[in-house]
Amino acid sequence: MSEPVLKVTRGDIMMRGVICRCPNCGRPGLLKSWFRLNDACAQNCGLDLAKSAGVYSGTTSIGYVAAIIFVIIPTCFLVGFKLLTVGQGVALGILGSLGFIVLIYPVMLCWMVMAYHVALPEELPANQGKTDSKR
């Protein structure tokens, strides 16, 4: 069985997602605030972000892994090479991880939207023939 022809391909979705653009129309408008997605694309392209909001809870797990890789492991090396004391390392690990997660949270939201629509590109309005995708 062949896959249907998509107006917005998985490649398009990934390119748009990496730079926090709407996977459907490619324009900005996914974020309501630093920690929240809009209910729908702000450009009125027909993308409903509210219907699958539970899927986007994966940002917490991604944030923890990213904090381990980019904050905790380097901090452990600094403590191991005696460039920081253990107390300083613990403080840097805790505060650095929290700060890092807050800093990258909007990107993680965009990437969860991207991951969802890469897996299910046929759910994009442009791929259902309901609205035209403007590139």
In which band, very low, low, confident or very high, does the pLDDT at 62 lie, cut at 50, 70 and 90? confident
Give CA–CA dist 111/63, Å, rounded. Answer: 12
- pTM of the entire predicted model: 0.79
Over residues 88-105, mean pLDDT: 96
| pLDDT averaged over every residue in the chain | 88
Residue labelled with tokens 């949270």: 105
Percent of the chain with pLDDT over 70: 87
In which band, very low, low, confident or very high, does the pLDDT at 31 lie, cut at 50, 70 and 90? very high
Give CA–CA dist 26/75, Å, rounded. Answer: 38
Helix, coil or strand: residue 48: strand
Over residues 21-27, mean pLDDT: 95
